[in-house]
């Protein structure tokens, strides 16, 4: 969909100014070009959105079918979600991170992390307030604040720092002003991971400067090699100032029937609850029932899922290396963050060349903030064979690194 004009001289409809604060969600021109190719029966390898192609776990599907047949599920869900869901999510956090959470006040189910993150910004940000967002970023980390009328400070994530932010460069004036600080490792779009020390530093910085910390742990289970992601809630004092978003979209390949939860500081969880009671009717009963089952799946299964993405990563990295790209190996998530070769005006130009000349859909790095320009993001959401075919197509089309 194209960008909504907030002022249309021909119409009496005057849209809210806040729609003018956010750029169009994803490059709509590229999306239109992709759809046009698909209409013409062109075989597009779609590596654009981070939408998992793997099936949801069969036991979760079975549970969903049986919940659908239970007429108790046909009425509105409770605003706080089902007690059993909150208890199961708390047990999962205990099993996975050894974190203890009170299911009565420190966990809230969400339709998705994306929705929850935006609503949290509405609970915290007044017009003019500041959020520190490491950039490139998952767009919603910035846009929740922008929609609420706030401002963002983009903290660069650079390859020379392994795509971790240099906390020492944040001006004290920004730390004094900021109300929110986002982190998200394993990272979308860079694929970077962080260690426990880094998380401790961020938590302590936020405690010292009285900033609310938000960790988006969407890819907690998608890490490669020996790396296991940590939760900020494992860090002393974090629960007083931080919340963490967890989604089932990636871990359980449930993006098409999304559900997520927020965990941590009860004051913040409650603030998000307040916004949600005014904007939605809670999370679908049936999907809550299915996810209670998902939480019981042994953690070892997630390592198998991660291995599938790791193999795809390896196929793509090896082949890209032959085309001249010598880039850091992503430690997690499901993306390759690829520098744009010389000769292209922008990341959009290179993404468009990949689409039109090699029929590969990707996302231009500029969509992920100021520091995303100069890169494109490739999502590992197709089989190893198709991923290999994508790089072969690049080679045939002369789309190599120079
Ligand atoms: C970092 C990050 N957070 C959240 C989401 C969305 O999660 P959900 O499907 O729960 O809204 C994504 C989706 O790509 C993501 O990359």
**Residues 357-387: tens digit of each pLDDT:** 999 999 999 999 999 999 999 999 999 999 9
The SS3 of residue 63 is helix
Checking if the pLDDT of 303 tops 80, the result is yes
Whether 313 and 384 have beta carbons less than 8 Å apart is answered as: no
Crossing angle (nearest 10°) for helices 347-358 and 28-39? 0
CB atoms within 10 A of CB 172: 8
Q: How far is the CA of 395 from the centre of ligand 1 (A)?
A: 31
Domain layout of the chain by residue ranges = 18-55+300-396, 58-294
335 to 192, 328, 381: CA distances (angstroms):
9, 12, 9
Question: Given the CA of residue 219, which atom of ligand 1 is nearest to it?
Answer: 1
Q: How far is the CA of 13 from the centre of ligand 1 (A)?
A: 32
CATH code matching the domain that covers 58-294, chosen among 3.30.930.10, 3.40.630.150, 3.40.50.300, 3.40.640.10: 3.40.640.10
> Tokens representing 2?
């194209």
Whether 262 and 108 have beta carbons less than 8 Å apart is answered as: yes
Pocket probe for ligand 1: among 116, 247, 309, the residue whose CB has the most ligand atoms within 8 Å is 247
At residue 208, what are phi and psi to the nearest 5 degrees?
-60, -40
Question: Given the CA of residue 184, which atom of ligand 1 is nearest to it?
Answer: 1
Whether 243 and 99 have beta carbons less than 8 Å apart is answered as: no
Q: Whose alpha carbon is nearest atom 3 of ligand 1?
A: 218
Crossing angle (nearest 10°) for helices 384-396 and 347-358? 100
Q: How far is the CA of 325 from the centre of ligand 1 (A)?
A: 27
Residues touching ligand 1 (Cβ under 6 Å) are 50, 112-114, 138, 184, 188, 216, 218, 247, 249, 255, 258, 260
Helix (H) or strand (E) holding 116: helix 113-124
Indicate the pLDDT class of residue 1, thresholds 50, 70 and 90.
very low
Q: Whose alpha carbon is nearest atom 16 of ligand 1?
A: 188
CB atoms within 10 A of CB 43: 10
pLDDT tens digits, 309-350: 999 999 999 999 999 999 999 999 999 999 999 999 999 999
pLDDT tens digits, 90-141: 999 999 999 999 999 999 999 999 999 999 999 999 999 999 999 999 999 9
Environment class of 33 (CB within 10 Å of its CB; exposed 0-12, middle 13-18, buried 19+): middle
Q: How far is the CA of 222 from the centre of ligand 1 (A)?
A: 13
Q: How far is the CA of 261 from the centre of ligand 1 (A)?
A: 12
The SS3 of residue 100 is coil
Pocket probe for ligand 1: among 138, 163, 280, the residue whose CB has the most ligand atoms within 8 Å is 138
Give pLDDT, residue 224: 98
344 to 114, 316, 361, 376, 399: CA distances (angstroms):
32, 22, 17, 12, 11
Which one, of 37, 34, 138, 26, lies nearest residue 363 by Cα? Answer: 26
Look up the pTM and report it: 0.96
Q: How far is the CA of 108 from the centre of ligand 1 (A)?
A: 16
Q: Whose alpha carbon is nearest atom 12 of ligand 1?
A: 218
> Structurally, what CATH architecture does the domain formed by 18-55+300-396 represent?
Alpha-Beta Complex (3.90)
Indicate the pLDDT class of residue 5, thresholds 50, 70 and 90.
low
pLDDT tens digits, 56-89: 999 999 999 999 999 999 999 999 999 999 999 9
Q: Whose alpha carbon is nearest atom 7 of ligand 1?
A: 113
Task: Give CA–CA dist 94/117, Å, rounded.
Answer: 23
At residue 268, what are phi and psi to the nearest 5 degrees?
-75, -40
Q: How many helices (H) does the chain have, and how many strands (E)?
A: 15, 12
Pocket probe for ligand 1: among 53, 113, 243, the residue whose CB has the most ligand atoms within 8 Å is 113
């Amino acid at each position: 969909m194209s960008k909504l004009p907030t002022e249309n001289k021909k119409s009496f409809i005057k849209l809210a100014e806040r729609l003018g604060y956010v750029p169009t969600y994803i490059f709509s021109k590229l999306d239109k070009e992709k759809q046009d190719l698909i209409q013409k029966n062109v075989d597009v390898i779609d590596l654009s959105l981070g939408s998992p192609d793997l099936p949801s776990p069969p036991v979760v599907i079975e549970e969903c079918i049986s919940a659908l047949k239970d007429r108790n599920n046909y009425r509105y869900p409770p605003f706080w979600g089902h007690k059993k869901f909150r208890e199961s999510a708390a047990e999962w956090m205990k099993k996975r991170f050894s974190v203890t959470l009170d299911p009565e006040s420190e966990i809230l189910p969400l339709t998705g992390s994306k929705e929850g993150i935006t609503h949290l910004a509405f609970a915290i940000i007044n017009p003019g307030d500041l959020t520190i967002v490491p950039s490139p970023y998952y767009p919603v980390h910035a846009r929740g604040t922008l929609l609420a009328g706030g401002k963002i400070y983009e903290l660069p994530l650079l390859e020379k720092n392994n795509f971790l932010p240099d906390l020492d460069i944040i001006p004290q004036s920004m730390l004094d002003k900021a109300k929110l600080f986002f982190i998200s490792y394993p990272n979308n779009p860079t694929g970077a991971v962080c260690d426990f020390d880094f998380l401790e530093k961020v938590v302590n910085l936020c405690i010292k400067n009285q900033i609310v910390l938000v960790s988006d742990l969407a890819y907690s289970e998608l890490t490669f090699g020996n790396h296991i992601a940590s939760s900020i809630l494992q860090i002393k004092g974090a629960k007083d100032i931080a919340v963490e978003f967890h989604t089932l979209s990636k871990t359980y390949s449930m993006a098409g029937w999304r559900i997520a939860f927020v965990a941590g500081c009860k004051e913040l969880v409650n603030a998000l609850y307040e916004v949600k009671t005014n904007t939605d009717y809670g999370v679908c009963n049936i999907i809550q029932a299915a996810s209670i089952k998902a939480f019981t799946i042994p953690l070892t299964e997630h390592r198998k899922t991660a291995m599938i993405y790791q193999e795809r990563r390896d196929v793509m990295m090896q082949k890209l290396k032959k085309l001249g790209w010598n880039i850091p190996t992503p430690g997690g998530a499901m993306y390759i963050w690829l520098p744009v070769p010389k000769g292209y005006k922008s990341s959009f130009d290179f993404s468009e060349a990949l689409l039109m000349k090699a029929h590969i859909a990707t996302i231009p790095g500029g969509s992920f903030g100021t520091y995303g320009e100069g890169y494109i993001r490739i999502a590992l959401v197709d089989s190893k064979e198709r991923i290999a075919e994508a790089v072969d197509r690049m080679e045939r089309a002369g789309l190599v690194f120079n």
